[in-house]
Structure 1
Amino acid sequence: MSPDFLCIGAQKSGTTWIYRNLNKHPDVWLPPIKEIHYFDKYQDKANLSSAIFSQIWRRQLKIRIRKRYGFRDFKNLKWDFTFFFRNHTPEWYLSLFEPGGSKKTGDFTPGYATLPSRQVAFIEKLIPNVKIIFLLRNPIYRAWSQIRMEVRKQSLNINDHDAVLKKIDSNKVRLRGDYLRTLDNWRSYYQKGQMFIGFFEQVISCQKELLLQIYQFLEINDSPEMIPNTIHHNYNPGIKVHIPPKIAGHLAKIYYEDIKKLNSMFGGYTDKWLAHTEEILQRSP
């Protein structure tokens, strides 16, 4: 059995919100671990012995043990054993979705947005009929949200602007905001009708409409009665620190050309992205 859809990101664009709310739909089954990370972390660690020594395996195991619904939830005990103690092969990955039965199943791993083209080609061969959900957020504020997340984890001093700029310029941050690359890679292997493009602004102000659009895309019951009462909940809020002008100007210079191209592709919410970016650039030295 294979997943019916992948939510590939972008990171800090509302994927946890979609995961939590979709998980309440009676026609959907989602793994108890949100981010499977097979295609970006585990595929090159097929043997269990190599996976056990990886940072991602230890982190996921720690989270599962700590969560109240983890190993104390016997309903998921078999799934947990399969996830943590089987070799990480393509067959292993597909087996993770067997508990879903006839329901729609999905893998929410924002890291998949950064995959190279050859890896997307592998995914297409393994699950050619899968649907793709990709949420976009103004890349300037997506990057700043990622920085705030690093600060919350105490791995970065937000007042050290040189360190912040170095992190922004890192490959890890830049790849996650390179939406044009992601779109090009995934659209090279999946048809337009297999991809749903949403926007972070919808998560903030058009929650019902966004969920109904996703229901329709996944071909599940799209009755308004299916909307859960958790749609206004804010998941994973970061620390509230305004972006310093120096950092905003640096990010605007990085993403201006991309935002112009995205605006020509989508319009709508990206109109405001472009206007705001130009305002930042006008104020920047």
Structure 2
Amino acid sequence: MRRIILGVGAQKAATTWLYSQISKDPAFSAPFAKEMHVLDLAFIDAFGAERKQVEDRARKVDAASSLQCDDPKSVHRFSMIENVERYFDYYDALIGELEGLSSDITPSYAALPVDALRRVNAGFRSRSIEPRVVFVMREPVTRLESAAKMVVRKRGESQDAKKQVISLMETYAGTEQDLSRADYRRTATNLQRSFEQHQIFLGFYETLFHPSELQRLAEFLGMANHRFSTEERDFASPFKLTYPVGFLEDLRAKYDDQYKFAGEVLGFDTSIWDDARRELYE
């Protein structure tokens, strides 16, 4: 069976680790980017600015000579965005073998609507490729904090790092931009409306590395004989910060629906999330 692993988030929830483990499978063929960013730019209006950036870069060169240009990825990516069938054709050729495997681990795919997800499922299946979708949820406040620290690190400004992180968290918590990556109820529901149950893996970051969960993930991916390395987890931050309790709990209130969904619908013990959030207390 030919397989494509679609990692749809959540952002800062072990997506880099997931890719590193999948890539060790002997049947794996690597795409030109871990995060392809085709489906989000093709189907989600909120990514219009990012799409325009890719288009501008791509139009600087002739697609026919893209292998000689400075930015062939943008040319290929924009070609797929313009016509998503090219995205499916790309993976069809890349996977090749009857037991071949590849992936697209792009956390922003969490915001894909049902019609787009159904098209993705049909597009791969029409080419005899089985899509398997992995969605790992993380305690929302700690996920946001990790994402904010990543932004600050990329800025390269270490001075007043905590102040910058707090400002980012206050600005984005609960906004549509934030929930495009952290509305777990919406993402999981859309997946369940678009794929069959055996095609979907729903997990939680805080318990993902427990032996039973690793085994469940391996079996889902068709990698039951593979031993996942837990030493390569990508959640270690270069700097650890703590915050006032009231600040964190105010943020927590913005994600009440995600807590209810995880606990009441998925049966997750949300006290595990409470414990994770409390690790950020001053």
Fold similarity call, TM over 0.5: yes
Where structure 1 has 5 or more consecutive residues not aligned to the other structure, the ranges are 61-70, 72-78
Q: For 1:171-211, what per-residue CA distance to the aligned partner results, in whole angstroms no more than 9, with x for missing partners? A: 221221110011111111212221111221244x42x5444
Q: Report what 2:84 is aligned to.
A: 90
- Output aligned runs, 1:11-30, within 5 Å: 11-30=11-30
Q: Give the drift of 1:275.
A: 6.8
Q: Give the drift of 1:86.
A: 4.3
The structure-2 alpha-carbon separation of the partners of 1:80 and 1:101, relative to structure 1 and needing over 3 Å to count, comes to: farther
Native 8 Å contact 1:82 1:96 kept in 2: no
The structure-2 alpha-carbon separation of the partners of 1:53 and 1:124, relative to structure 1 and needing over 3 Å to count, comes to: closer
The structure-2 alpha-carbon separation of the partners of 1:201 and 1:162, relative to structure 1 and needing over 3 Å to count, comes to: closer
1:175 aligns with 2:180: yes
TM-score by length of 2: 0.74
Native 8 Å contact 1:158 1:164 kept in 2: no
Q: Report what 1:245 is aligned to.
A: 245
- Output aligned runs, 1:108-123, within 5 Å: 108-123=105-120
Where structure 2 has 5 or more consecutive residues not aligned to the other structure, the ranges are 59-66
Supply the distance in 1 between the matched residues of 2:186 and 2:78 (Cα, whole angstroms): 34
Native 8 Å contact 1:263 1:271 kept in 2: no
Q: Report what 2:62 is aligned to.
A: none
Q: Report what 1:140 is aligned to.
A: 141
RMSD of aligned residue pairs (Cα, Å): 3.7
The structure-2 alpha-carbon separation of the partners of 1:198 and 1:58, relative to structure 1 and needing over 3 Å to count, comes to: farther
Q: Report what 2:64 is aligned to.
A: none
1:31 aligns with 2:31: yes
Q: Report what 1:254 is aligned to.
A: 254
Q: Give the drift of 1:164.
A: 3.3
- Output aligned runs, 1:230-241, within 5 Å: 230-235=229-234, 237-238=236-237, 239-241=239-241
- Output aligned runs, 1:127-166, within 5 Å: 127=124, 129-154=130-155, 158-160=162-164, 161-166=166-171
Q: Give the drift of 1:242.
A: 2.3
- The letter for the 2-side match of 1:134 is F
Q: Report what 1:184 is aligned to.
A: 189
Q: Give the drift of 1:264.
A: 1.9
Q: Give the drift of 1:168.
A: 2.1
Supply the distance in 2 between the matched residues of 1:167 and 1:127 (Cα, whole angstroms): 35
Native 8 Å contact 2:11 2:181 kept in 1: yes
